[in-house]
């Protein structure tokens, strides 16, 4: 069996604006994706020609295999390869070892799917599909998947998140991620925002690119300009998430924000000692929460 192993990193959103609802029922967003060192392990084995998929995911996410985005990536890639004329589409054994909390706004499922898609050419050869086809396939699986498939460290995201512009700015901080034991449904979060689609309801996006470098050097500017539109409805529905953000500030975070549509919240700290001390104390304050200390990539 030919096997490829890789890591699938989590992301945080350093600012997230939901601008308006588009005619295709997706939402136009404006965000900054930042990959962090928290990661899952993805192992893909290719063998045989039966076009099957075998998934081993630990811990169990409590969802059907067909709902797993990595599984969907394999299935769509198999179908595309067959359509492109690959006469013997191999079966794939997919092993996922999860560290990224499921349903926490950290992109774990999208990252797994992206890792699968960028690994398949080395298994099947570069003639199975073109890069453009893989990018389109990634966007069809999930709006965050292209970011992970491209393996970018930091990028501006627009459209529904699939239009990417890499940026070279690095966050010089330690990141404490706190994930409470609840899952936010993304569809619910978007509905809670009640974004309109009329021209006069469309917002002008913040120019994150122009602000990013100076804001990172001056965290008070991060607080002023880099917000997350999902926080207001989600904090109202789930006060514990707002409480975690407030606690991170009280514990000395220079900047704190909910990631994606939640439920995870991250805080930026200057030193590893400070970050580890805060992370160690969190579970006692917020029972059932998981904490991670990581670095931006």
Q: Please write the tens of the pLDDT for every residue from 112-150.
A: 999 999 998 888 877 778 889 999 999 999 999 999 999
Q: Locate the DSSP E strands across the chain.
A: 2-21, 27-47, 53-58, 91-97, 154-158, 163-166, 174-179, 255-258, 265-269, 290-294
Cα–Cα distances in Å, from 6 out to 86, 224, 244, 293?
24, 37, 32, 21
What CATH class does 2-166 carry? Answer: alpha beta
Q: CB within 8 A of 123, min separation 6: which ones?
A: 2, 4, 44, 46, 90, 92
pLDDT by position in tens, the chain (length 297) = 688 999 999 999 999 999 999 989 999 999 999 999 999 999 999 876 667 899 999 999 999 999 999 999 999 998 998 888 877 777 899 999 999 999 999 999 999 999 999 998 888 877 778 889 999 999 999 999 999 999 899 999 999 999 999 999 999 999 999 999 999 989 999 999 988 877 666 778 999 999 999 999 888 899 999 999 999 999 999 999 999 999 999 999 999 999 999 999 999 999 999 999 999 999 999 999 999 999 999
Token reading at 167: 């940026």
Spatial CA neighbour of 241 closest among 275, 192, 194, 288 = 288
Token reading at 3: 């096997």
Is 214 tagged catalytic?
no
Cα–Cα distances in Å, from 53 out to 97, 128, 156?
17, 17, 34
Q: Are 163 and 241 in contact (CB under 8 A)?
A: no
- Please tell me the predicted confidence (pLDDT) of residue 130: 86
Catalytic, out of 40, 144, 153, 229: 144
- Please tell me the predicted confidence (pLDDT) of residue 46: 83
C-alpha span between 144 and 156 (Å, rounded): 12
C-alpha span between 189 and 206 (Å, rounded): 21
pLDDT in tens, 151-178: 899 999 999 999 999 999 999 999 999 9
Neighbours of 194 (CB within 10 A): 8
Q: Are 175 and 296 in contact (CB under 8 A)?
A: yes
C-alpha span between 154 and 168 (Å, rounded): 7
- Please tell me the predicted confidence (pLDDT) of residue 267: 98
Neighbours of 126 (CB within 10 A): 10
Report domain extents, the chain.
2-166, 174-294
- Please tell me the predicted confidence (pLDDT) of residue 199: 63
Q: Are 25 and 70 in contact (CB under 8 A)?
A: no
Q: Are 9 and 112 in contact (CB under 8 A)?
A: no
Is 83 tagged catalytic?
no
- Please tell me the predicted confidence (pLDDT) of residue 106: 98
C-alpha span between 168 and 259 (Å, rounded): 20
Q: Locate the DSSP E strands across 112-248.
A: 154-158, 163-166, 174-179
CATH 3.40.190.10 fits 174-294, yes or no: no
Helices 131-141/69-83 angle, 10° precision:
140
- Please tell me the predicted confidence (pLDDT) of residue 182: 92
Token reading at 140: 């069809």
Q: CB within 8 A of 179, min separation 6: which ones?
A: 101, 104, 106, 263, 264, 289, 290, 291, 292
């Amino acid at each position: 069996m030919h096997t490829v192993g890789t890591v699938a990193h989590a992301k945080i959103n350093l600012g997230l604006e939901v601008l308006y609802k588009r005619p295709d029922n997706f939402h136009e967003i404006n965000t900054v994706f930042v990959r962090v060192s928290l990661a899952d392990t993805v192992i893909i084995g290719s063998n045989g020609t039966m076009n099957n998929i075998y998934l081993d995911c630990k811990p169990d996410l409590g969802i059907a295999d067909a709902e797993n985005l990595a599984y969907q990536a394999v299935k769509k890639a198999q179908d595309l390869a067959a359509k492109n004329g690959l006469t013997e589409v191999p079966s794939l054994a997919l092993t996922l070892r999860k560290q990224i909390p499921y349903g926490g706004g950290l992109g774990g499922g999208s990252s797994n799917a992206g890792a699968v898609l960028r690994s398949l050419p080395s298994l099947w050869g570069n003639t199975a599909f073109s890069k453009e086809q893989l990018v389109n396939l990634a966007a069809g699986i999930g709006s965050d998947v292209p970011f992970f498939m491209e393996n970018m460290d930091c990028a501006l995201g627009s459209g529904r998140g699939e239009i990417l512009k890499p940026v070279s700015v690095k966050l010089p901080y330690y990141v404490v991620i706190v994930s409470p034991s609840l899952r936010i449904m993304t569809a619910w979060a978007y509905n809670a925002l009640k974004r309109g689609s009329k021209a006069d309801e469309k917002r002008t996006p913040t120019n994150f690119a122009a602000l990013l470098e100076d804001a990172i050097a001056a965290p008070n500017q991060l607080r002023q300009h880099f917000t997350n539109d999902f926080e207001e409805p989600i904090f109202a529905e789930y006060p514990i998430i707002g409480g975690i953000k407030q606690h991170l500030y009280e514990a000395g975070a220079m900047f704190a924000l909910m990631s994606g549509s939640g439920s995870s919240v991250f805080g930026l700290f200057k030193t590893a000692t400070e970050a580890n001390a805060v992370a160690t104390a969190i579970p006692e304050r917020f029972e059932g929460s998981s904490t991670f200390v990581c670095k931006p990539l």
